[in-house]
Structure 1
Amino acid sequence: MQGITRLLCTSILTLTSPLAWASDANIQARQQWYEGIATGYQSLTTEAGELAESARDYCQNPAEGSREHVEAAWLNAFLAWQKVRLVDFGPVENNNLSWQFQFWPDPKNLIARKAAYLIGNDEPITPSVINQSGVAVQGFPMIEYLLFDQEFNAGETSLPVARTCELLTNVAGHLKSNSDALMAGWQAFRPHYLETEQYFDTTIRAGMATLEILEERRLAQPMGLRGSNKRNPYIADAWRSGKSLQTVAATVDGLNRYFLPGLEISLEAKGASDLADRIRKQFNEVQQNFPGAHLPLATALKEEDQFRALQSLYVDISQLTTLVNDQAAVALGVVRGFNSSDGD
């Protein structure tokens, strides 16, 4: 009887151990993802604080060189956002925070229209006004418009005109407040995220959606590979500042830093170490072969030698998307579903 019992227990352990290992690996992956995203959010908070401070200093004393400091601070904060843009669940869903950070796409040019309205009327531009003005006003693209839009900056209301400075400083302050709220929310979200199994699939899907948006909307459409078949830099994000390719590079870097480590843990636990290695190498391929991230996308679309380099980047990212969204997702049993980023 004891032998039968021992045999039965051994059989049960044999059957359940792989499931237990998978569950442990999923927990480890979520721990890895949580810490990585926390690091990214902390960087966003720090850089948003620098932006708010530099905007305030510039408007109080627009001395030579201070505008360039604001522009650099905007870029650093915006790239920090790009690195955590993959997260489309949890606290960033509260109050449309992701849209408050970045309203895009903007086919109706609402950002320019909202700026003209706010600058053109007599009502003081206060934090309350920014809170009530909608997502087209509240994020990085509005500051980009004020700093970099050529037509606006050739006009009489360009910075450092006092009323435009009111808009600049209050939007920068709004971004800082939202960054702080996001970081605090993520810290409070920790137990729920780590204890809830469904966030394993949710995080995988978030990475998948980010790659799809990167491939299809941030590269293929501006390159004329989708839709109208015409090259059009103006449908990319950050076209006014000429930083579209830098934002793509930052998103790839964020995926590599904050998403890939947890994905590797999960794949290796499933016996797919070879696939994990191929994905790691493909990330390196994308980053090593990136065509001049400081080059404006408009230039890359116009000059044929640069466009060929851009095509190579597109192929690299497409291959990465296939590895993650098809092969890794299948290996991990994750089914692609609706994702809030689809309305990005």
Structure 2
Amino acid sequence: MQDLKKLIGIAALSLASANAGASTEVDIEQQARSLWHDAILAGYQSLATNAGDFSRAAEAYCESPDYASRKSVEQAWLNAFLSWQKVRFVDFGPVENNNTAWQMQFWPDPKNLIAKKARYLIKSDAEVTPEVVDQSGVAVQGFPMAEYLLYDEPLNTSDTGLPAANTCRLLTSVAEHIQNNSEALASDWQSLRESYLTTEQYRDATIRAGMGALEILEERRLAQPMGMRGTGKRSKYDADAWRSGNSLKTVEASLEGLKTYFLPGLSLLLNNSSQPELTQSIKGQFDEALGHFPELREPMATLLQDESFSQLQGFYVDLSQLVVLVNEMASVELGVVRGFNSSDGD
């Protein structure tokens, strides 16, 4: 909350300066990049903090497994995962190094590689170590693998489920890997500051990142599980975080992240364009979409049932309207053409 208040304060000062006519177009774009950089840094720092909490909770659980420590590690995983969702839209810069975005969240996973790799490592005679996780590929290294270990029902009703020794070693090694990547992202983003603020191309890169995230939210994370894309059949397995039942919580977090970390810089640019009214329209549509929560914080499987499906449809309509405002109207006004998004999974 303090980060949000700080960002709102910075945005207000920047807008006041722009409205006073004291800023040139170049100044305004630099101010927008400054807003974005500081906002995304706050997001990465929150991710690093929560990832560290998750790693420590995993260690504590495996050292002394009981009901309380199991609930603690599950909550710590969720807190860290939702922090990732809030900055997931950033698809350029340090997150591109070594496929870090895919390391953090291997999704989509139509071949169920996460489960296959987990079973292989757990049943292996070799001890699972952080070095093994580092060398095992992106399907092993991120939040979905930890989710599998914590929530997969067949695994956790078998003799290899947590807190079995090798399974616990895999959990703690994955949590450590997530923590290391999260801390590196925060540090590397901070180091990028000077280049980000002085490089004009980062304006369009940031806008495209927000556009891409909204498009993926609409098309891949909602429409496909709802049976509106792909096979045409409703399926919870097309959503992320389906094992833990947190698919809609992750969508909510992604929208909150876009509103908190992306929208202030976009608003500054739009307020100094020929269509400043778009700012309030976009802000209002974010509120409309987020207004469906907390009622929508249900497992995707529940919401896909006929008696609940209308709630999901209403949310989809509001999200689609937000996509139109940002990806079609705001992007045209700012002269940004949507390009290929490497995080699309296609």
TM norm structure 1: 0.93
CA–CA separation in structure 2 for the residues paired with 1:319 and 1:25: 27
Contact 1:45/1:176, CA 8 A, preserved across alignment: yes
Matched letter for residue 342 of structure 1: D
Give the AA of the match of 2:117.
K
* 2:5 aligned partner: none
Correspondence for 1:115 among 113, 118, 121: 118
Amino acid at match of 2:138: V
**1:188-227 superposed matches below 5 A:** 188-227=191-230
Equivalent position to 2:238, from 235, 239, 242: 235
Structure 1 counterpart of 2:46: 43
Counterpart residue number, 1:328: 330
Q: CA RMSD in A?
A: 1.2
Q: Residue in 2 aligned with 1:10?
A: none
Aligned CA distance change for structure 1 residues 76 and 291 (closer, same or farther; 3 Å): closer
- What is the distance in 1 between the residues matched to 2:32 and 2:184? 25
Pairing 1:145–2:148 present = yes
1:104-183 paired onto structure 2 within 5 Å:
104-183=107-186
**AA at the equivalent of 2:164:** V
Is the CA contact 1:291–1:309 (under 8 Å) kept in the aligned structure 2?
no
Report the alpha carbon displacement of residue 284 of structure 1 after superposing the two structures with TM.
Answer: 0.7
Structure 2 CA distance for aligned equivalents of residues 237 and 343 of structure 1: 12
CA contact (8 A) 1:290 1:313 kept: no
Question: In the alignment, is the contact (CA less than 8 A) between 2:296 and 2:311 conserved in 1?
Answer: no
Residue matched to 2:87: 84
Measured in 2, the distance between the counterparts of 1:92 and 1:134 equals 16
For 1:96 and 1:90, the matched residues in 2 are separated by 11
- CA deviations 1:37-69 (Å, max 9, x no partner) are 000000000000000000000000113311010
| 1:244–1:296 contact (8 Å) kept in structure 2 | yes
State the distance in 2 between where 1:272 and 1:322 align.
15
- Where structure 1 has 5 or more consecutive residues not aligned to the other structure, the ranges are 1-17
- Cα separation, 2, equivalents of 1:116 and 1:74: 20
Q: What is the identity, as a one-letter code, of the residue corresponding to 1:332? A: L
- Residue identity opposite 1:337 in structure 2: G
1:277 to 276, 280, 285: 280
Cα distance in 2 for residues equivalent to 1:220 and 1:264: 27
Greater shift, 32-41 or 227-236, is seen at 227-236
Kindly state the Cα deviation for residue 125 of structure 1 after the two structures are TM-superposed. Answer: 1.0
Contact 2:296 2:312 in 1 (8 A): no
After TM superposition, the runs of 4+ consecutive aligned structure 1 residues lying more than 6 A away are: none
- Partner Cα separation in structure 2 for residue 257 and residue 280 of structure 1: 11
Q: CA deviation at 1:291?
A: 6.0
**In structure 2, how many angstroms separate the alpha carbons of the residues matched to 1:290 and 1:307?**
15
Q: Among the aligned pairs, what percent are the same residue?
A: 60
Q: Which residue of structure 2 aligns with residue 313 of structure 1?
A: 315
Tell which structure's C-alpha radius of gyration is larger.
1
Whichever residue aligns with residue 58 of structure 2, its letter is A
- Among 99, 102, 107, the alignment partner of 2:105 is 102
1:68 to 67, 71, 75: 71
Residues 206-242 of structure 1: CA distance to partner in whole angstroms, max 9, x if unpaired?
Answer: 0000000000000000001112111101110000000
**Structure 2 stretches lacking a partner, 5+ long:** 1-20
Match of 1:301 among 277, 289, 304: 304
Report the alpha carbon displacement of residue 104 of structure 1 after superposing the two structures with TM. Answer: 0.2
Contact 1:221/1:227, CA 8 A, preserved across alignment:
yes
How many Å separate the matches in 1 of 2:295 and 2:120? 37
| Amino acid aligned to 2:321 | Q
CA distance in 1, matches of 2:296, 2:104: 22
Distance 1:131 1:56 in 2: 18
